[in-house]
Amino acid sequence: MAKDPLQGRVTAVHGRHYRVTIDHTDQSRHCYPRGKKAGIAVGDHVLILPEGEHEGVITEVLPRRNLFYRSDIQRSKLFAANIDQLLLVLAAEPEFSDDLLGRALVAASSADIPAHIVLNKADLPTTAAARQRLGATEALGVPVHMLSALNAAQVHEQLLPLLQDRCTLLLGQSGMGKSTLLNALVPDALAATQAHSEALGTGRHTTTLTRLYALPGGGDLIDSPGFQAFGLQHLDPREIEHGFPEFAPAIAQCRFYNCTHRHEPGCGVLAAITQGAISAQRHALYLRILAENEAAKRY
């Protein structure tokens, strides 16, 4: 007799291995996608067919509110689905990349996901210069929270009210202190990550595991591996444009409806740059992403 499908939420992903927590229970199952089905992310709500006592087959991904991911010519890297906000972890040492920060914010804006920045290692003397670098980003409406992840009380005071009752993706370049921040927010996170890594058959390779943690005071925190690249080749030109919300008032002034904001006469964006209303650095990022995506389509 065929078993009825179960509905659950994906709480851990490593490659084609998934941990799914069944709705309204504490039960979780080690699941695989049916056939060559891919594109399943932590935070997805799915239907599974049970197999045995502890396993299952994912048969369907239910409709999403959103999906946060990056992509290049070779593949896409799905970070998380159905999230309420993004928490980007930066630090003065090692120096963070303005380009990678900008790309992550474009991905968030294009998906209408609010973003916050944590500037970690606030006790270092170089943090003041890093904070100044973030001034233009903060002017876009992205809040910046300065703290030391080693100070658990400070982390709790600043971040727990922000995270409560929300599903938040924790994202950062390697070396920014993201793991330390996670352990301050979820004290047993390291042990839980190792346990899930073993359950998913991934041994010690915990850095490639994406995992959802329930926060003690309510809400969920999704931890993702550190990254050193952030392609946006899944975005079309209008979606790229949408990823730069500060362009919107100027775009309304463009002479041509299909203006690319590169060189066209009467371009409101180019005029706004000369007037200082739009950052030349942000416009340069826009041009790089546009050019990369156009080049990729020629292959």
- Measuring CA to CA, how many Å separate 22 from each of 7, 10, 211? 6, 9, 16
**Widest Cα–Cα separation across the chain:** 71
Three-state SS string over 10-57 comes to EEEEECCEEEEEECCCCCEEEEEECCCCCCCCCCCEEEEEEECCCEEE
Q: Determine the distance from the C-alpha atom of residue 189 to the mean position of all C-alpha atoms in its chain, rounded to a whole number.
A: 19
Does residue 76 sit in helix, strand or coil? Answer: strand
Q: How far apart are the C-alpha atoms of 261 and 268, rounded to whole Å?
A: 8
Q: What local confidence, expressed as pLDDT, does residue 244 receive?
A: 96
Q: How far apart are the C-alpha atoms of 151 and 181, rounded to whole Å?
A: 9
Quickly list H helices, the chain. Answer: 98-110, 127-133, 135-139, 152-163, 178-185, 189-199, 237-242, 248-251, 268-274, 280-297
- Give the DSSP letter string of 171-210: EEBTTSSHHHHHHHHSTTHHHHHHHHHHHTT-TT-GGG-E
- Measuring CA to CA, how many Å separate 163 from each of 83, 147, 215? 11, 15, 8
Residue 37, classified by CB atoms within 10 Å of its CB into exposed (0-12), middle (13-18) or buried (19+), is middle
Q: How far apart are the C-alpha atoms of 76 and 232, rounded to whole Å?
A: 9
Q: What local confidence, expressed as pLDDT, does residue 34 receive?
A: 83
Rounded to 10 degrees, the C-alpha dihedral 87/231/292/297 comes to -130
Entry pTM: 0.90
265: left (phi over 0), alpha (psi -120 to 50) or beta: beta
Q: What local confidence, expressed as pLDDT, does residue 203 receive?
A: 40
- Compute mean pLDDT per 10 residues along the chain, 299 residues long, and list them: 84 93 94 83 97 93 96 88 98 92 96 97 93 93 96 96 97 90 88 49 55 93 90 94 96 96 97 97 97 85
Q: What local confidence, expressed as pLDDT, does residue 15 receive?
A: 84
Residue with the two structure tokens 């197999």 = 51
